[in-house]
Structure 1
Amino acid sequence: MLGLAASPVWAETDRLTRFSTMTSLEDGWEPLTFPNIETHTRYTLDTDDGQQVVRADADDSASGLIARVELVPGDSLTLSWRWKVSNIYEAGNAREKSGDDYPARIYVAFEFQPDKAGFFERARRKTVEVLFGETLPGNALNYIWANQLPEQSMVANAYTDKTMMIAVNSGPSQVGEWVTVTRDLVADYRQAFGEEPPAIVGVAIMTDADNTGEQATAWYGDLT
């Protein structure tokens, strides 16, 4: 669950809709797609282990589901979830662009802080926002089911150092099993970026295979 210590509680409109109670994928979540990626991962409501979950099927594809929120995390904010994957990617490698795919990941996006960005970064972001009509987040944490990266490792994303990859699971030993994960988002942000986190503006799930061209299925339980 999202547990708070010395932090504001979630506003009713910012609560993450539980997958177990959804009647459609549009209940509090929306598609997350990327420019120049035409093949999207397929997300459906499914029943597994006696509970409704979200199933993601990736086949040389990439997209996610995102819940847009706005919350200043305070001194501590924990996020818990459970997930299961069918397999890991043979060519998966968090340190290389060609291997930047994960059978399961949780993406936490934080508000952009223009006062901490240089001129060229601000200009680049403004251009992208004009072209695609959407305000971009700032730093991000990605909790991943990795292939080669040791568990608990944290590395910069192969495409940008504004996103840090944290291997909360790695390798095939728990493939096919439900695994529960709990993380302190504030502690992880401090370790990743060396400063206090700004507001959280989005939480997403994503199963992608566009770089490796492989296939995988993931099941996501409630994020709380």
Structure 2
Amino acid sequence: MRLALSAALVLTTTLTANAGPISFATGWQEQRLSLFSSNDYSFGQSLSMVSNGSVSIAWTRVSPADWGSRGASWSWTVEQSVPPTNLGQKGGDDRNVSLYFVFVPESVAPSLQGANIRSLLGNEDVRIMQYAWGGNHSRGQVIRSPYGPPGQGVTIALRQAGTGSHSENVDLAGDYARAFGGEPGALVGLAVSGDSDDTDSMIRAAIGNLTLR
């Protein structure tokens, strides 16, 4: 099954000359959000994930050379989907895949180079945008996160719940301005999650060809 998921992602995105590709083979760690709940991640050319009534995050730090990234592109596929949910509802916001972009002010980025994802999520200077495949929202809708400190995080809906394969190309700076106002700082972290615990459903998904620019 994982081989089929990876094959569905083969080179569906055209990279720009100054693009910075992100490897899924090394540097990623899983962060559990619950003691008894964990997704099954497989790291390699792409990141494959199975989520069975569970939720967790796979995350990585961004190299200082890419802290100034203001756009991103990737491909993703879903072979088994959660049902549509309200992504703004705490405890009822299951989604197939979310890709997180973690920003901090440039002035504090050097001091957070060694921070783990829990430290970043608990830092008041952090701003988080997650692009989601799931829910029942219109494309591009900005949804305030019901988790964490108010104003820290948003979900931007890209695909409604369902299966298929798609390529995405997002304007991080433009979306940041819509979500929080102003310019983004340094992009210091990336994360991928699948969330199926509220609906006790199953996700089979993968993401690849992730490029920062």
**Normalization by structure 2: what TM-score?**
0.74
1:188 maps to amino acid: D
Structure 1 residue 2: Cα displacement:
8.0
The answer as to 2:131 corresponding to 1:143 is: yes
Whole-Å Cα distance in 1 between the matches of residues 105 and 71 of structure 2? 21
Contact kept in structure 1, 2:94 and 2:135, CA below 8 Å: no
Q: For 2:189, which of 187, 196, 202 is the aligned residue?
A: 202
- Against the structure 1 CA distance between its residues 83 and 135, is the aligned structure 2 distance closer, same or farther, given a 3 Å change threshold? closer
- Structure 2 residues without counterparts, runs of 5 or longer: 1-13, 109-114
Cα distance in 1 for residues equivalent to 2:27 and 2:198: 29
Gaps in structure 1 of 5+ consecutive residues: 47-51, 116-128
Question: In the alignment, what sits opposite 1:79?
Answer: 72
Q: CA deviation digits over 1:34-89, x for unaligned, max 9?
A: 3x44311001147xxxxx42210001211122120244427xx2111100112432
> Does residue 105 of the first structure (1) align with residue 93 of the second (2)?
no
Partner residue, 2:152: 162
CA RMSD, 1 decimal = 2.9
Whichever residue aligns with residue 192 of structure 2, its letter is: I
Pick from 167, 173, 176: which aligns with 1:189?
Answer: 176
Within-5 A mapping of 1:1-224? 16-17=22-23, 19=24, 22=25, 27-34=26-33, 36-45=34-43, 52-69=45-62, 70=64, 71-73=66-68, 77-90=70-83, 92-111=85-104, 134-136=119-121, 137=123, 138-160=126-148, 161-172=151-162, 175=163, 177-224=164-211
- Letter of the structure 2 residue corresponding to residue 38 of structure 1: F
Contact 2:55/2:196, CA 8 A, preserved across alignment: yes
- Cα separation, 2, equivalents of 1:154 and 1:3: 27
Letter in 2 for 1:152: G
Cα 1:187–1:91 change in 2 (3 A) is closer
Letter in 2 for 1:134: S
Per-residue deviation, 1:96: 0.9
Instruction: Report the AA paired with residue 171 of structure 2.
Output: D
TM-score w.r.t. the length of structure 1 is 0.71
1:208 alignment partner AA: D
Cα deviation, residue 111, structure 1? 1.6
Structure 1 residues 149-183: Cα deviation after superposition (integer angstroms, max 9, x where no partner): 111211101224311111111143xx1x2200010
Q: Secondary structure at the match of 1:181?
A: strand
* Matched positions, count: 184
Greater Rg, structure 1 or structure 2? 1
Identity across the alignment (%) = 26
